[in-house]
Amino acid sequence: MPEYAYTRTEKAERTRLLIKGARGAYGDTSAVEAAIERIDARAADRGAREARAWAAELDQARNAVATARVAERTADPTERRTAREARKAAETRLRRVERARR
């Protein structure tokens, strides 16, 4: 089931069309229904794109954390502090990406 990502204008237009369709429920509402379907199709496409982009961003953040952990474990004792800071920064970014989706 696709997620819909309506813009503010699309929400208002869709609401206006629903009201218009309800008023003319006894007449021909095919134009109203077609307009609503076009808005829904655009919103579904936008929602799917955003979901794919978010999944890719989340995957990159998780890979960055894994890479940073390995780098920290294999770091020379003199470079361990820098590696730890890099891991913490990667974990912070991962948390930000996870929170952004909620």
> What is the pTM (predicted TM-score) of this model?
0.70
pLDDT higher than threshold 60 for residue 99: yes
pLDDT digits (tens, 9 = 90+) for 43-82: 999 999 999 999 999 999 999 999 999 999 999 999 999 9
Q: Residues near 71 by Cβ (< 8 Å), separated by ≥ 6?
A: 83, 86, 87
Q: In the chain, what are the domain boundaries?
A: 8-101
Tokens 């912070």 correspond to: 92
Report the run of H or E that residue 34 belongs to, with start and end.
helix 30-73
Closest of 10, 65, 83, 13 to residue 43, by C-alpha: 10
> Cβ(65)–Cβ(90) under 8 Å?
yes
Banded model confidence at residue 2, pLDDT cuts 50, 70, 90: low
Average pLDDT over residues 34-44: 93
